[in-house]
Structure 1
Amino acid sequence: MDGTIVTLGGGGFSDCDRDSAIDDYLLALTGAEQPKVCFVPTASGDAMSYGERFEKAFAGRAQASVLSLFNSPSWAYQDPSMLLEQDLIYVGGGSTANLLAVWRLHGLPDILRTAAATGTVLAGISAGMNCWFDQSSTDSFGPLAPLDDGLGFLSGSACPHYFGEPGRQEKYLGWVASGALKDGWAVDDFTALVFRDGEFVEAISERPGHPAFRVEHDGDVAVETPLNVRLL
């Protein structure tokens, strides 16, 4: 996988009432003075309030747009190929399973892979973190469950909201230990991982005290290795 992907366990404009240091970091990654930034709220069913929050957060510092795939009264359908014109593609949270199903129907995986290979930064929070990996921990079906249906842009498994939501840590460790999920990455709210060309680069955070881990099975247990998290 060529290109840069930033995976947020939580945080960014979705969770911050004030300006988000992770969002600032994402804009800086593009290298553009007035970057083109497209928000993809598929996982939330193109929730209008979510798109409006994005537009408010990026107003005046980016050319902001929203890609709708639902053709709802909130947002009109757009050709997904418009993603190829963006400097940053920012994927919102919600249902990982629904996001993946809709994206595949509309041809987004190939478009996103091409965009990343030509310099577009890919980023996402929660479901927008999960989608890039082979597998993930998701509440798409109600209770937390392992999902073996990711895009595979990044190898292994993912778990967002590691300490931010009850049961996330315990369940994820159990699935990695049992082999239900591959070795992977656990990220707390307000923290993100940066990958380049499929390789882990660094962990960053916009608030102190929100860790990230590499999680690997060792026999019949899962072992957490804390990552060095750079505070922005």
Structure 2
Amino acid sequence: MTTNNLSRQIVAMGGGGFSMEPGNPRLDKYILEVSNQKTSKICFLPTASGDSDKYIVKFYSAFSRQQCKPSHLSLFQPHTADLRSFLLEQDIIYVGGGNTKNLMALWKEWGLDRILREAWEEGVILTGLSAGSICWFEEGLTDSIPGLITVLPCLGLIKGSNCPHYDSEPERRPAYHNLRAQGLVSDGYATDDGVGLHFIDDTLHKVVSSRPQAKAYKLEKINGEIRETVLEPIYLSQYI
């Protein structure tokens, strides 16, 4: 397990990474660099996809090319009864996309909600895309129920709300604005695909992107009006 001076770090990606950008490793390389380990132990949690075999294969295919030690944890076919020890030994825990509602239910049933908080507090880097992004916030906008964008209570490691896929799924921006206007979701962050929000402790430290034009946004309700502020990312041009 890494200590990272016990700083609590999360990189929440709106989309991208090995599963959405197989030819663009910029975000994944950035995450490995954040861990500050020569050979990071990185564990993939594919819970939201129902532990899809194809997704797991994609993970190993991508990270076997990097300087790291990849592994995964399936909750449908767990390889150990001691999930806590296994996860706390990691330097990075990488959560895949899929159905966030199912992910949260399974995590709570298996106690991963508590284990992941402990890992975060112990300095393990937490990251992920889509479902693996919104899960870290107090609330997330999810399409887990077909045809609907709903608000889902999540782990609450980061204050506020989160909405991924802001540029690729056109229904998300109006849904986020409307839900915030009605007071059904708190202020928060939205991210285009390819953008990562890097939090250290409770503060947004950096916004990074694997795509030159992608952006992040801060959404707030101020004096009854919805304000969306663009957060310009740092393009990770150095990672190829």
* TM-score bin, normalised by smaller chain: over 0.9
SS in 2 for 1:64: strand
Which position in structure 2 is the counterpart of 1:45? 50
1:132 aligns with 2:136: yes
Which one of the candidate residues 48, 64, 69 is aligned to 2:70?
64
Deviations 1:29-69 (A, max 9, x none): 11111110000000000000001100010004211101000
Indicate the larger mover: 113-122 or 37-46.
Answer: 113-122
SS in 1 for 2:94: strand
Q: Which amino acid aligns with 1:48?
A: D
TM-score (norm 2): 0.91
Task: Note if contact 1:100-1:131 (Cα within 8 Å) is conserved in structure 2.
Answer: yes
1:18 aligns with 2:23: yes
1:152 aligns with 2:162: no
Task: Note if contact 2:139-2:185 (Cα within 8 Å) is conserved in structure 1.
Answer: yes
Which position in structure 1 is the counterpart of 2:122? 118
Deviations 1:81-123 (A, max 9, x none): 2110000000000011110000011111221111112221000
Q: Which amino acid aligns with 1:140?
A: S
Q: How big is the shift at 1:148?
A: 3.6
Q: Which amino acid aligns with 1:69?
A: L
Which position in structure 2 is the counterpart of 1:227? 231
Q: Which amino acid aligns with 1:26?
A: I
Which one of the candidate residues 184, 207, 212 is aligned to 2:188?
184
Q: How big is the shift at 1:24?
A: 0.4
Task: Note if contact 1:137-1:144 (Cα within 8 Å) is conserved in structure 2.
Answer: no
Q: How big is the shift at 1:14?
A: 1.4
Structure 2 Cα separation of the partners of residues 189 and 79 of structure 1: 34
Q: How big is the shift at 1:229?
A: 0.9
Which one of the candidate residues 77, 80, 84 is aligned to 2:83?
80
Q: Which amino acid aligns with 1:13?
A: F
SS in 2 for 1:124: strand
Deviations 1:143-170 (A, max 9, x none): 2323241111111110000011120111
Task: Note if contact 1:83-1:89 (Cα within 8 Å) is conserved in structure 2.
Answer: yes
Q: Name stretches of at least 5 consecutive residues in structure 2 with no aligned partner.
A: 1-5
Structure 2 Cα separation of the partners of residues 139 and 78 of structure 1: 32
Q: Which amino acid aligns with 1:55?
A: Y
Task: Note if contact 2:101-2:152 (Cα within 8 Å) is conserved in structure 1.
Answer: no
Question: Number of paired residues?
Answer: 229
Task: Note if contact 2:107-2:113 (Cα within 8 Å) is conserved in structure 1.
Answer: yes
The percent of aligned pairs where both chains have the same amino acid is 42
Task: Note if contact 2:142-2:152 (Cα within 8 Å) is conserved in structure 1.
Answer: no
TM-score (norm 1): 0.94
Structure 2 Cα separation of the partners of residues 167 and 212 of structure 1: 16
Task: Note if contact 1:9-1:159 (Cα within 8 Å) is conserved in structure 2.
Answer: yes
Q: Which runs of 4+ in 1 moved over 3 A?
A: 75-79
SS in 2 for 1:223: strand
Which position in structure 1 is the counterpart of 2:107? 103
Which position in structure 1 is the counterpart of 2:3? none
